[in-house]
Amino acid sequence: MDLYQWLLALHVLAAASLIAALTLFTVMVLATRGSDRPSTVARFWGLGRFGTIIVSIGTLGTLFFGIWLAIDADAYQVWDAWVLAAIVLWAIASAAGQRSGVPYQKAGERARELVASGNDAPDAEIGALMSDQRAWVLHWVTVVTTLVILILMVYKPGA
Model confidence pLDDT, tens digit, residues 116-154: 999 999 999 999 999 999 999 999 999 999 999 999 999
Residues of the chain with pLDDT > 90: what percent?
91
pLDDT for residue 147:
97
Using CA atoms, how far apart are residues 118 and 52, in angstroms rounded to an integer? 27
CA distance 34 to 44: 13
Q: What is the pTM (predicted TM-score) of this model?
A: 0.93
**Do residues 34 and 92 touch, judged by C-beta distance below 8 A?**
no
Residue 34: its pLDDT value, please?
92
- Stretch (H or E) spanning 80: none
- The reported pLDDT for the residue numbered 148 is 97
Residue spans of the chain under pLDDT 50: none
pLDDT at 50: 93
Domain that holds residue 59: 3-155
Helix (H, G, I), strand (E, B) or coil at 79: coil
User: How far is residue 22's CA from residue 56's CA, in Å, rounded to a whole number?
Assistant: 11
pLDDT for residue 25:
97
SS3 157: coil
- How many domains would you assign to the chain? 1
**Residue 126: Cβ-neighbour burial (10 angstroms; 0-12, 13-18, 19+):** buried
Distances (CA, A) of 28 to 34, 71, 97: 12, 37, 14
Tally Cβ neighbours within 10 Å of residue 132. 19
